[in-house]
Chain A
Amino acid sequence: MKKWSDDEYIEDLKEDVLERGEDDKVAIAVENLYKSFKLPTEKAFGLKQAIFNRLKGIKGYRRQEVLKGISFEVKKGEFLGIVGRNGSGKSTLLKILSEIYIPDKGTVRVNGTLVPFIELGVGFNPELTGRENVYLNGALLGFSNKEMDEMYDEIVRFAELDQFMDQKLKNYSSGMQVRLAFSIAIRAKGDILVLDEVLAVGDAAFQEKCNDYFKSLHGNQTVILVTHSMDNVEKFCDRAILIEDGKIACEGKPGKVTKAYQKLWS
């Protein structure tokens, strides 16, 4: 059978969803989020300039408002896509959801465990073996060794890297490295998965496998996906959000949002 024996895993997820019951259907509630950054102006570097600025009352930075009042909800089991141009605030939003940044104003309520993938393979070290990297990455994501033991075989199987796990990562091809990182991402058992533009990895066969996997997740796993690929939005997402200039410009069915996205350039 072409359908790899992941059905068990999916069943597992389904049961989890059923067990949780109807008591709380909201996975993430974001309310009125504001975030700005201090960006140093180019003249702010160096001691001389700092003193000069202080004397003249020039602030050495300007405030860049990145998020200006974002509110949305994600239901349990929902696959939400977030789209927008470069610099519109998508990644900042994900980083706030992942508790990397602290918002200036507004609240984020997360129901369950959130596993963030702002980048694949965070903490990967070329001098460590594949196995060591998997456990290190897992620890960074908040999994215990025992939990990683349980996930390990699935991760290796999905990445198809069985014979390479005791090799140092620097001896992997870049495709193999990404495959390993990506397998950790999608095998990580969390209630909510946050993915930042990580779908385009591996060769065609691996891509297809990932696509199948994402489709099979449908309705079982809460996922937030930031992407520039409108194809992926229409293929996987239940709902999408378009962020423009730090605000939600459009929200709703994938088809509607992708149209709004394409209109940004017309």
Chain B
Amino acid sequence: MRFFIFSKKNRILLGELTKTDFKLRYQGSVLGYMWAVIKPLLMFAILYVVFAKILRFGNEIPHYPVYLLTGTVLWNFFVECTQQGIHSIEQRGDLIRKISFPKYIVVVSATSTAVINVAINICVVVVFALINGVMPSLSWLMIVPLLLELYLFALGISLLLGAINVKYRDISSIWEVLTQALFYAVPVIYPLSMVMNSSVVAAKIIMINPVAQVIQDARYNLITTETATGWGISGVWWGLLTLAIVLILLIISIIFFQKRAEHFAEEV
């Protein structure tokens, strides 16, 4: 199948499209690439003031500011990745109508800007963590497979919804609202322990979501082992469920996308 051929030609095309996307991203802005760092920091500042200072969340969690920053950075990555990915096919319609190339390249290149951004942001998190007095440890390396898992989840969603969005443009609007709702179903601003205090079942349900699992695991490995994780409250096998969700979704999405891709040129 053409989808799976990651030939040299496709790699070059992917590289060129990604480069273009990234170059054009901050085109005409004074601060340019700096925005990749400033934006999440500003978001973090708002959340920090509202939730840590005014509402007094997370008093019992050590290094709460870094804890909060890690959550927002990963959450923003997920949102940016999926929103770019879902729009990508429709946005690159002009190319798809005029040139033949494997369509997944469009989705991957659209999401890779988010990957570059999150890589920069994780560096910011690390600096913050060090300033905040978190001891560096080998477990920090776990962030790499966790990011990969989150990316594959976002990619699966992007391929699936992006393919549907070609014909039914409602999808991207629905997804925007859905991510807003999902934000409150993921322990980004509130600590998971808060949910556990009132209902352990609710906490378990929250942690089935791969995004929640990745965020909690990242905090566990990066900042403090005192935070609750999915496998911590539900057991290792239960924890593997999220990984299974990610992989199964990805496989279904690839098959579906591949089937629809033949008709993109006619429908987009």
Q: What residues of chain A have their CB less than 8 Å away from a CB belonging to chain B?
A: 37, 95, 98-102, 116, 118-119, 122-123, 125, 127-128, 132, 135-136, 139-142, 144-145
New A-B pairs, 6, CB < 8 Å, besides A127-B24, A136-B17, A140-B16: A100-B265, A116-B99, A118-B97, A123-B95, A128-B24, A136-B20
Instruction: Assess A144 versus B8: contact at CB under 8 Å? Given A125-B24, A127-B24, A128-B20.
Output: yes
Tally the A-B contacts, defined by beta carbons under 8 Å. Answer: 61
Q: What residues of chain B lie closer than 8 Å to A139, measured between beta carbons?
A: 12-13, 15-17
Instruction: Kindly state the separation between the CA atoms of A99 and B100 in the bound complex, as whole angstroms.
Output: 6
Q: In whole Å, how far is A231's beta carbon from the nearest beta carbon of chain B?
A: 26
**Could you tell me if B99 and A101 are in contact, using CB atoms closer than 8 angstroms?**
no
Interface size class of B (residues with CB under 8 A): 20 to 34
Contact assessment for B24 and A140 in the assembled complex, using a CB-CB cutoff below 8 Å? no
Establish whether residues B266 and A118, one from each chain, have CB atoms under 8 Å apart when the complex forms: no
- Evaluate contact between A142 and B20: CB separation under 8 angstroms: no
Query: Residue on A with the closest CB to B28?
Result: A127
In the complex, chain A residues whose CB is within 8 Å of the CB of B8 = 144
A136 with B99, Cβ < 8 A, contacts A101-B266, A127-B27 known: no
Give B residues with C-beta under 8 Å from A. Answer: 8-9, 12-13, 15-17, 20, 23-24, 27, 94-101, 262-263, 265-266
Please list 10 pairs of residues, one from A and one from B, whose beta carbons are closer than 8 Å in the complex, sorted by A's number.
Answer: A37-B266, A98-B100, A100-B97, A101-B265, A119-B98, A122-B98, A128-B23, A128-B24, A136-B16, A142-B13
Q: Are A144 and B9 in contact (CB under 8 A)?
A: yes
CA distance A125 to B17 in the complex (A): 11
Q: Distance in Å from the Cβ of B128 to the closest Cβ of chain A?
A: 33
**If A125-B20, A128-B23 touch, does A100 touch B100 (CB 8 Å cutoff)?**
yes
Chain B residues, CB < 8 A from A99: 100
Q: Which residue of A lies closest to B24 (CB)?
A: A127
Asked if B12 contacts A144 (CB within 8 A), the reply is: yes
- A102: nearest chain-B partner, CB-CB: B262
Contacts of B101 in A (CB 8 A): 140, 142
User: Which residues of B sit under 8 angstroms from A123, Cβ to Cβ?
Assistant: 94-95, 99
